[in-house]
Structure 1
Amino acid sequence: MIEQTIEQLITKVIEAGLIDARDRIYCRNQILGLLERDTFSSTDIADSDRSIPQLLHLLIDDAVARHVIGPALDERERLDAEIMNVFLSKPSEINQIFYRHYAEHPKHATHFFYHLSQVSNYIQTERIAKNIHYKASTDYGKVDITINLSKPEKDPEQIKRERQVKQDVQYPQCLLCIENEGYLGRTGHPARSNHRVIDLNLAGEDWYFQFSPYVYYNEHSIVFSKEHRPMVISKDTFKRLLAFVEQFPHYFIGSNADLPIVGGSILSHDHYQAGQYTFGMTEADDAFTFTLNHYPDIEASVLHWPMSVIRLRHTSQERLTDAASHILTAWRQYSDHEADLLAFTEETSHNTITPIARFRDQQYELDLVLRNNRTTDTHPDGLFHPHQDVHHIKKENIGLIEVMGLAVLPPRLKNELDQIKKYLTNQSSEIEAYHQEWAEQMKQNTPNLTVDNVEHVVEQALAKKFIKVLQDAGVFKLNAEGKIAFKRFLSTLNS
């Protein structure tokens, strides 16, 4: 049956357009070598309803059963990537194909590369399908709620292996470095044999483009610097973001902030996130407009959004870059004791920006989300960070994706929300203590809870909690005092 599984896998890859039928024998022999099988018996190639990831699982299970590899997660993933690498061209060839498509239309290029990344199992489509995802309407427009179930849990054997291995290898330097392309992997560092990236030039610098293995939205991609250097938000950041959307006008691109607490998970390597998706923040209305005296030709507004967002619009990249840099410079130094805002604690800087760029309606747009990472005795995790009353839902950093309106929530919530639904409909009395107050609020707000409507009620309540998370992270609150404080900062831009 393994012979037939190999043939079915090759057939699926041919059908997906990754290789030609002429490549079958070569690919078969390469896979036999990886599986340490010396012979092959001819077999009828029966049709299979199984997907490429499912066929891979069968081959890897066989390799484990025959002790070709051990059962640990890192060994399984390494063989998975090696098998799929058999079907992939070299990076230079993929780049050539990408830019041939680009010459027709940028969308054709990204579509080609996205398809390749999915078929090659670099994008973990089967695991991503496990994620829980829905949209919800709020006072600020739509938000996306995702419970992340895609990343596999490490079994005890894998955890033991990682503890035992002395991690003194500095190659690749981090998970984003270009040296990951084709890297075999090791314990504690994921296999990347089937990883390919696209060369980019952004504002005169060498950068690279890839898709995220665990996409959270359509064509979720990562754009990273050739140089391994820390994340920095600067005038050059705005130049690069706008240069990217000039090259790929159907994509947005944004950067996490460059400070702990308000930044993303990897601050050691300068990188951005991009994709073809419309987030709630993209469609947010203007709360009010204002004028930048030094840049009167630029359309400037503050968004009606739970976080503090300035939107700039213009046809000129250079004008937008200058205006955004002016705002960043002013914000880095800005303090307002009435609004609990301090730019510095002694020499430690607290203010930064999460920027997002797009090209829309024949204009460039820059969204500048004002961030502050100061901690206090009352809020040791961060003053402008999810507060204790929402930690039962989310207490992790609010990065670029969440800022734009997509909640990435921890996997524990899947079972805990099922518990809450049973509790609300009197099918169970068990519930996590940290959800108790929230559940009682739902009962009070919806006295006619039933099995038929409980899922909708919980989903809407979860979306409201996420809005509260974003409000906590907003530096200027959404009340009369907050609006006045926001305008105090804007007035300094014209002084």
Structure 2
Amino acid sequence: MKLKQLMDDFITLAIQSGGWMELDRLYLRNKLLMMIGGHTPDSDYEAVYDSTSADSLADSLVAYAVEMGYSNEQSSKSYLKSQLLDLLAPPPSVVNAFFAQHYSKSSEEATNYFYELNKRNHYIYTPQVGKKEHYETPYGEFVIQTLEDEKAGKSRAIDGFSTANLTEYPKCTYCFENEGYGEEGSAALPTRRLIRMNVGGESWGFQFSDWEEYKEKFFISSEAHRGLMKNKDSIARIAQLLDIFPQYFILLSPEKAKEHSYYEGGRESFPIAAAAVRTYIELKEFPLMNVGSLDWPFPVIRLQSPNVEDIIEGSDYILQKWQQCYGEKLSVEPMIIGRKKKNLYEIDLLLTSGKQPNEERATAEYLGRHSLSPVNGKKSIVENQLSEKVLEEYVAMLKSWTPFGMDQQIGENEAIDDFLHRLE
């Protein structure tokens, strides 16, 4: 195809995104010419591309720019490509208006719109999964998979974000100021869009992760650059977010305090969601609530109730009692996960050791899914087949995260059950 046809196909995708109209076609053509260093659309430049793929179209435009003298450095080409793809994402006001319009019909229709927009402008990158196997364990079915991607395990703009090129603005990757921000050589992505939300009377922003570790992974961060305490207010936000997005699970990370904490979530159903309850107790303060410990390699307490106030108060009550009993003895970094099952609120309190290795752990690791990539020293397994040994190593790693220690005189199950019975 000639250059003019290449640009027109790209502009057609931009118009279809909802941010532009047919009247803007000539303006966009001239804007593209300036960006790629062209002088006229009537060039004899030949390009082979997929006219339905934003990625393919943008790559062809970048290739033309390189022919016209643009830098052939990978960082420079990536920066130009991100600027081009930004034209396929409507401005935030338009995205938020469309989201609200879809949300008036259903929350799922709204998130589907936003997800497809992010996929279309190539903001979301989904790693390629190679071999995937399901293993029966004493804790239910676990999943071990391999990633074929060379990028697997490396830092991305959001998940595993590298701050090497950040200055004081934006302060971090979760700040609202990242929306539309781009600087050559940085990990910023100009195509990023946030959905503004009111959560507990405060301004929050919903954005999909650029690295889709699991299905429809997203982050929700406050407009204020601050950390989050794991207290009743943070649990109440989880419950409110479950009402806003009942199709998703919502999670508050166990990682150590951050300058700007966030909620995480997605659509995937992980093995922990199907884990069996080993021991039930009754709390007289919350007669409508089920409370029990799960069969899991490290301590997990599950709460279920149709009453949102009970689920908030009950979760806070248990965490406070845990702090009173073990706060000075055990180092714990709780992960709080919420999900909705029809009219039932469900909260899992994952009580993991705060003495884990400093390396960043993927969320899925806690929840029953382990991923292997060519960059994590498992090449022979990745290239051939998964093995029971990998499963054994994974389960052993999960067990090592127990706050009670591996050399305790009584079993972990007895320890967590004893704690629960003391609550009755």
Q: Same fold (TM over 0.5)?
A: yes
1:458-477 residue pairs with structure 2 within 5 A? Answer: 458-475=386-403
1:183 matched to which residue of 2?
A: 181
Task: Decide which of 254, 277, 293 is 1:257's aligned counterpart.
Answer: 254
1:262-341 residue pairs with structure 2 within 5 A? Answer: 267-335=258-326
- Distance in 1, matches of 2:353 and 2:164, equals 37
Whichever residue aligns with residue 144 of structure 2, its letter is: I
Deviation at 1:121, TM superposition (A): 1.1
CA contact (8 A) 2:180 2:191 kept: yes
- Distance in 1, matches of 2:95 and 2:165, equals 33
- Residue 174 of structure 2 is aligned to residue 211 of structure 1: no
1:490 matched to which residue of 2?
A: 420
CA contact (8 A) 1:7 1:45 kept: no
SS in 1 for 2:59: helix
CA contact (8 A) 1:78 1:190 kept: no
Deviation at 1:399, TM superposition (A): 5.1
Whichever residue aligns with residue 342 of structure 2, its letter is: D
1:140-190 residue CA offsets vs partner (Å, 9 max, x unmatched): 233343545363899xxxxxxxxxx99672100001110000002243x32
1:388-416 residue CA offsets vs partner (Å, 9 max, x unmatched): xxxxxxx8344533212232445424871
1:392 matched to which residue of 2?
A: none
1:211-262 residue CA offsets vs partner (Å, 9 max, x unmatched): 00011111111111111112321111100011001111111110112527xx
* TM-score normalised to structure 2 length: 0.86
Over 3 Å counting, the alpha-carbon distance change for 1:30 and 1:363 in structure 2 is same
1:86-125 residue pairs with structure 2 within 5 A? Answer: 86-124=87-125
Deviation at 1:23, TM superposition (A): 4.4
- Distance in 2, matches of 1:468 and 1:195, equals 38
Task: Decide which of 218, 229, 251 is 1:221's aligned counterpart.
Answer: 218
Task: Decide which of 380, 404, 416 is 1:417's aligned counterpart.
Answer: 380
CA contact (8 A) 2:252 2:263 kept: yes
Mean Cα deviation higher: 61-70 or 240-249: 61-70
1:334-353 residue pairs with structure 2 within 5 A? Answer: 334-335=325-326, 343-344=327-328, 350-353=331-334
Task: Decide which of 350, 367, 382 is 1:404's aligned counterpart.
Answer: 367
- Distance in 2, matches of 1:80 and 1:246, equals 37
CA contact (8 A) 2:9 2:51 kept: no
2:53 matched to which residue of 1?
A: 51
- Distance in 1, matches of 2:266 and 2:89, equals 23
1:5-24 residue pairs with structure 2 within 5 A? Answer: 5-12=6-13, 23-24=24-25
SS in 2 for 1:305: coil
- Distance in 2, matches of 1:8 and 1:488, equals 66
1:347-367 residue CA offsets vs partner (Å, 9 max, x unmatched): xx8223100011103111111
- Distance in 2, matches of 1:21 and 1:173, equals 38
2:172 matched to which residue of 1?
A: 174
- Distance in 1, matches of 2:173 and 2:340, equals 29
Over 3 Å counting, the alpha-carbon distance change for 1:324 and 1:65 in structure 2 is same
1:417-456 residue pairs with structure 2 within 5 A? Answer: 417=380, 421=384, 455=385
* TM-score normalised to structure 1 length: 0.74
- Residue 344 of structure 2 is aligned to residue 370 of structure 1: no
1:69 matched to which residue of 2?
A: 71
Over 3 Å counting, the alpha-carbon distance change for 1:269 and 1:26 in structure 2 is same
- Distance in 2, matches of 1:172 and 1:15, equals 31
Over 3 Å counting, the alpha-carbon distance change for 1:105 and 1:45 in structure 2 is farther
1:142 matched to which residue of 2?
A: 141
2:81 matched to which residue of 1?
A: 80
CA contact (8 A) 2:182 2:190 kept: yes
Over 3 Å counting, the alpha-carbon distance change for 1:15 and 1:103 in structure 2 is closer
Whichever residue aligns with residue 193 of structure 2, its letter is: R
Deviation at 1:6, TM superposition (A): 2.8
SS in 2 for 1:31: helix
SS in 2 for 1:87: coil
Q: Where in structure 1 do 4 or more consecutive aligned residues deviate above 4 Å?
A: 11-23, 42-47, 165-168, 476-480
Over 3 Å counting, the alpha-carbon distance change for 1:492 and 1:106 in structure 2 is same
Over 3 Å counting, the alpha-carbon distance change for 1:166 and 1:247 in structure 2 is closer
Over 3 Å counting, the alpha-carbon distance change for 1:56 and 1:47 in structure 2 is closer
Whichever residue aligns with residue 313 of structure 1, its letter is: Q
Deviation at 1:488, TM superposition (A): 2.1
- Distance in 1, matches of 2:241 and 2:150, equals 29
CA contact (8 A) 1:27 1:87 kept: no
Whichever residue aligns with residue 315 of structure 2, its letter is: A
Specify every segment of 5 or more residues in structure 1 that has no aligned partner in the other structure, as ranges: 155-164, 261-266, 336-342, 375-381, 386-394, 422-454
Deviation at 1:136, TM superposition (A): 1.5
1:293-319 residue CA offsets vs partner (Å, 9 max, x unmatched): 332321111112222111101112211
Task: Decide which of 229, 239, 243 is 1:242's aligned counterpart.
Answer: 239
SS in 2 for 1:467: helix
Deviation at 1:138, TM superposition (A): 2.5
1:50-101 residue CA offsets vs partner (Å, 9 max, x unmatched): 732133223223323433235142x222211211112222111110110110
Deviation at 1:332, TM superposition (A): 2.5
- Distance in 2, matches of 1:257 and 1:412, equals 25
1:263 matched to which residue of 2?
A: none
Over 3 Å counting, the alpha-carbon distance change for 1:486 and 1:208 in structure 2 is same
Mean Cα deviation higher: 293-302 or 315-324: 293-302
